[in-house]
Amino acid sequence: MPIYIYKNPKTGEIFEDIRSFKDMDKPYISPDGVKCERIFVTKGLGIVNKNAECFQKDAHWVKKCKPKFIKFRDGHRERYDPNKHF
């Protein structure tokens, strides 16, 4: 089932709800009891480089995870060095 996005008209808070297709246009009732209408959000995926390693795509995320080893696309792995793998 797809995920639909609803916006609270009073607070501007965004809610995501998993619903069937037949219920997609029904309003979402937020926890405070307000009816939220469905909105359409287009999320850009950007350019994907399928030849890049994971630490090259998002070095900040990999550094935050603090891995002991990095596995490369060809299968070999080596000890993670934040100065080398950026």
Taking only the tens place, the pLDDT of each residue in 7-17 is 999 988 888 89
| Across 21-35, average pLDDT | 88
Does 52 share its domain with 84? yes
Interval 40-83: pLDDT, tens: 866 555 556 677 777 777 778 888 888 888 888 888 889 988 87
Q: Which pairs with CB-CB distance under 8 Å and at least 24 residues apart come from 12-15?
A: 14/39
How many structural domains are present in the chain?
A: 2
Does 13 share its domain with 50? no
Which amino acid is it at 72?
F
Predicted pLDDT at 39: 86
| Across 18-27, average pLDDT | 87
Does 81 share its domain with 63? yes
Q: For residue 84, is pLDDT > 80?
A: no
Does 35 share its domain with 49? no
Does 34 share its domain with 58? no
Residue 78: its H or E element: strand 77-79
Containing structural domain, residue 35? 3-39
